[in-house]
Amino acid sequence: MRSRNTLRRVLAGVVVVASATAAALGGAVAASAHDSLVSSNPASGDSVAVLDEVTLDFSANLLGYDGGNIVIVLGPDGRHYESDCVGLAGPTLTLPVALGEPGDYTVEWRAVSSDGHPVSGAIPFTYTGESRSGGTDASVCASAAGATAAPETTSAAADGGGPSGVTIGLLAGGAVIVLLGVLVVLIVRSRPREE
Ligand SMILES: [Cu+2]
């Protein structure tokens, strides 16, 4: 009876600790927000006659994971018009571009928010300048080329990405706590009773 009561008490303690940790984690997650795109050149819907560089300014410094921040520019023909990899400086992403035919272009971007979550979006703009030959079938940047399909999946997962990350974190945290609890129970049970 005695050891069963101890077991019950330990299990109750584990539940309390697990709930408290989950609440604390939830609070911490709610307190931190994803960084958002503050401004860009070109801005959504802009018409530009000259454009050598796309810049995206975010609300906080992005994380510089290798290949984590990706910006591509797709032309009216669906080809790529980046001329180099994207550069990161604090909260700003800069992408050199060489546009081709006049028409509708789209900047597709994905960035790693300062809280570690990916954010993404698309900026449509119109190029009205002179027609030039150019464009490539894939990105000239290796990390962006490897993730050419990424903008679609990430933009779909942009809002779902955060919560699923949180869920995974909570599940992992919960699992660790449960394992610790089981360990404690096993130790308590295996300890010889002296009385
Ligand atoms: Cu976040």
CB atoms within 5 A of ion ligand 1 belong to 34, 115, 117, 162
Ligand 1 centre to CA of 148 (Å) is 23
Ligand 1: centre distance to CA 58 (Å): 13
Tell me whether residue 116 is in a domain.
yes
d(CA 113, CA 63): 6
Residue 15 lies in a domain: no
Whether the predicted pLDDT of 22 surpasses 60? no
Ligand 1 centroid distance, CA of 96 (Å) = 28
Look at the chain and report how many structural domains it folds into. 1
State whether residue 48 is helix, strand or coil: strand
* pLDDT above 60 (res 77): yes
Tell me, what CATH number does 102's domain have?
Answer: 2.60.40.1220
Q: Which residues contact 124 (CB under 8 A, 6 or more apart)?
A: 44, 45, 104, 105, 106, 107
For residue 133, being part of any structural domain is answered with yes
Question: What domain range includes position 116?
Answer: 37-155
> Could you report the per-residue pLDDT of 110-150, keeping only the tens digit for each?
999 999 999 999 999 999 999 999 999 999 987 776 554 44
